[in-house]
Structure 1
Amino acid sequence: MSSYPPAGPPRRTAQIPQQTTLRRRLAGLRGPAVPPRPLDARALAALAANPGCGRRALLDGAGVDKTALAAALGAPAPFGQSQFAIVRGNSFEAKVKGDGGAELLRLVHEHLGSAAQPPGPRARVPDLTAAGPEGRAARTALALREATAAARAEEAWTLLDHPMLALEVAGSPVYLEPDAVVVHPDGRWTVVEIKSFPLLDGAADPAKVGAAARQSAVYVLALENTAQKLEGAEVGHRVLLVCPKDFSNLPAAAPVDIRRERAVTRRQLERLTRVEDLAAALPEGISFDPALPAEELTEAVATVDAAYAPECLAACELAFHCRASARAAGQVTTLGRSVRGELGALATVGQALAAASGPGPGPDPTAEALRHAARLRTEALHTAAEAASCRC
């Protein structure tokens, strides 16, 4: 008779108290009356762009409302769209998806499915309503399975309007909602992103297109997780970006290859430390409840390491607070990631200035380069001063 304990049920039973403890711990970090703020694809893309920031990883994983936290710290960030932009975007999306998604499917066929038969009036648009995000994710997975089977049997097009996808990030499930997913007659799945910025002469602002590509890469990763459970399913590496044409409200589209963004996002998300590990390293009693005094919140935020860079100003609600802290500490990260990389072990502006002005111990290439730059600056200032005195 074997002396080993039975595998399976005891292990699952042991995990339940751990999960309950983690949920209570994260709820304590948010505050007793603060509901968790769910992550979306835009936040995940920004998190993946800076995986070394434990502060953002912990706060996002715990569902902390960083907008309210930044305001309580006295450093609010002007994030979010104007009400006019939101209304305009919703109106344009409704126009694109009107008439059973006929125009949207036409654009997908024109740009990404010309070899297949055109979508007819009987294109499938399944109902994806269900209770809660978990229920909607399960309903979406079932709809994708049924759509793939219908594509093989009937060569039918299927439009999934606002499906719900699941992706595990740092050990926690995240639920994502793309604008649309189209299942082609060959069974291929395509992510569709609908944006309100215009396509002028067939091209859009590169910065906005890049942000949309990074956001779409998160959706593609989540779709790939679902596709792995379905034999023969394939997720397209090109997404369709639908925007207003020129200065009108007519929809236009452009395919965007997101293979590079997908690879980078996957690698960065895999580097993220698990939320429970970050929470376990915090002192007992730490809370980020926005109702707490600013001094207490400042001390709590300081217990979590951050990796500030100027790029954070466009992607994180706490960027202004982190920038002020980095400047007060004289960190060279305030000068940009490229400068930080060039300076090597010199982590503060004071250390860099000391290395540039003194001989320094031993042959240090970074210090020598700084001293050379300081000499060039001194010579340039001396030459400029001489030229100014001659003109006088």
Structure 2
Amino acid sequence: MSESQGSGPARPPQTTLRQRLAELRGPATPPHPLDARALAALAANPGCRRRALLDGAGVDKAALASALGSPSGYGQSQFAIARGHAFEAKVKAGGGAELIRLLGVAEPADVLVPDLAAAGPQGRAARTALALREATAAGAWSLLDHPMLALEAGGSPVFLEPDAVVVGPDGRWTVVEIKSFPMIDGAADAAKVGAAARQAAVYVLALERVAAVTPGAAVAHSVLLVCPRDFSNHPAGSLVDVRKQLSVTRRQLARLTRVEDIADALPEGVSFDVAACSAGELTAAVDAVPHAYAPDCLAACELAFHCRDRAREAGAVEALGRSVRGELGGLTTVGAVLAAARGEAGDPDDPAVAALRRAAALRAESLEAVGACR
């Protein structure tokens, strides 16, 4: 038996994979870029093959959700986007001196702002890597405005664009996240800070790849979060430690199933081309890829409403939350849970089954007591 026969089917070359993903997306449809926010959400739910494939293929999930009849409420309003752009321009005005002051340097010397223009994301990523090496060697404060970083997720390259990266005279690289939500009395909304930290951890992970081959460079594991102070438009800065988010993101990205493996498992003729396929064809195509819905998806994925409907139709306990799913063990559907609680199914020695039956008994006693009081 030859080596190729014994090791199973060979993986398609990268060019073939790109062609396959282009066919899934639609040959005439440009790929939808995958940003750090989406990558952080994907890392938070590595078991969702549906999102991994759609993001890897560059499918516009918002357009797909609308075509499926489940338009997404996920995303920022145009007003919020415009406000964010205006605040970012204010923070970066003056050649980046304000950002350096927010890092705790009272009177920064001249700040170098290298030109990062290049053709295409690959060219911009290469230009950014060169600028980072030059800034580190220069030993002066440098501000990289919207650099382009590269990272691999699920076997596919992803290009990321942080708001800024500051290079210090000591060769330390610090990611800057500029957000438009307010920092009131020195503190911002914890949920929004957590989301920003998870997003920034993706940038730190990508920067570490460049720093590993840059002499004298080190990536800070605390990112500078810049927000409006109180109810004004004046910037306030806070250093946020992202070591925990970095560790989780690194581990979860390593668990992602390779996009080519997911694509190879699809039936022939599957397509997510919104312009060429009917709603029924798109529904069948989406349902051909397994998903891992959880309520957290409502705040992170454009297809969340569609996947929630499918999870509810199947009676999947995941629709109630990951914590509930973890407590129920081998009971994977709502029907199985109710049957176990009524004593119609399930192993009595199973802790989950025992707890459900005890809860059902307590509920029955409570209802009987209420009925007696009436």
- Common fold by TM > 0.5: yes
Aligned pair partner of 1:65 in 42, 60, 64: 60
Give the letter aligned to residue 74 of structure 1.
G
Q: What 5-or-longer segments of structure 1 have no aligned partner?
A: 1-13
Which of 108, 112, 121 is the equivalent residue of 1:119?
Answer: 108
* Range with bigger deviation, 49-58 or 226-235: 226-235
Q: After superposition, what is the alpha-carbon deviation per residue over 1:103-158, rounded to whole angstroms, capped at 9, x for unaligned?
A: 111112x1xxx5xx8411x211111111111111111100100111111xxxx111
For 2:316, which of 320, 323, 331 is the aligned residue?
A: 331
Kindly indicate whether residue 326 of structure 2 is the aligned counterpart of residue 370 of structure 1. Answer: no
Matching residue of 1:41: 36
Structure 2 residue 129 is matched with structure 1 residue 141: yes
Does residue 382 of the first structure (1) align with residue 352 of the second (2)? Answer: no
Partner of 1:245: 229
Preserved CA contact (<8 Å) 2:340 2:346 = no
What CA distance in whole angstroms lies between the structure 2 residues aligned with 1:359 and 1:174? 50
1:353 equivalent in structure 2: 338
Other-structure match for 2:327: 342
TM-score normalised according to structure 2 size: 0.95
* Cα shift readout 1:58-95 (whole Å, capped 9, x = no counterpart): 11011111001000000001222222211111111111
1:191 alignment partner, one of 170, 175, 178 = 175
RMSD: 1.4
Q: Which residue, 283, 300, 315 being the options, matches 1:315?
A: 300
d(CA) in 2 for partners of 1:232 and 1:376? 65
Match of 1:223 in 2: 207
Relative to structure 2, which stretch is displaced further, 212-221 or 31-40?
A: 31-40
Mean Cα deviation higher: 205-214 or 289-298:
289-298
SS in 1 for 2:262: helix
1:99 counterpart SS class: coil
**In the TM superposition, what are the counterparts of 1:21-100 in structure 2 within 5 Å?**
21-100=16-95
AA of the residue aligned to 1:340:
R
- State the partner residue of 2:14: 19
Q: Quick one: which amino acid aligns to residue 321 of structure 1?
A: H
Please tell me whether the aligned partners of residues 346 and 353 of structure 2 are also in contact (alpha carbons under 8 angstroms).
Answer: no
Kindly provide the amino acid, as one letter, of the partner of residue 160 in structure 2: L
Equivalent of residue 281 in structure 1, options 265, 273, 279: 265
Q: Percent identity?
A: 72
Is the 8 Å Cα contact of residues 74 and 298 (structure 2) preserved in structure 1? Answer: no
Find the residue that maps to 2:63 and give its secondary structure.
helix
- Stretches (4+) displaced over 3 A: 359-362
Q: Structure 1 length as normaliser, TM-score?
A: 0.90
CA distance in 2, matches of 1:29, 1:360: 43
Aligned-partner SS, 2:224:
strand
1:100 is paired with a residue of what secondary structure? coil
List aligned pairs for 1:94-113, cutoff 5 A.
Answer: 94-108=89-103, 110=104
Number of aligned residue pairs: give it: 363
User: Aligned residue for 2:7?
Assistant: none
Partner of 1:201: 185
Amino acid at match of 2:46: P
Query: Counterpart in 1 of 2:4?
Result: none
Structure 2: distance between partners of 1:313 and 1:350: 24
Separation (CA, whole Å) in 1 of partners of 2:235 and 2:350 = 58
Aligned partner of 1:294 in structure 2 is: 279
Q: Distance in 2 between matches of 1:308 and 1:98?
A: 42
Give me the whole-angstrom Cα distance separating, in 1, the residues matched to 2:135 and 2:372: 78
* Change in 2 beyond 3 A, CA 1:102/1:24: same
Deviates more, 1:171-180 or 1:290-299: 290-299
Q: CA deviation at 1:361?
A: 5.6
Paired residue secondary structure (2:13): helix
CA distance in 2, matches of 1:197, 1:28: 40
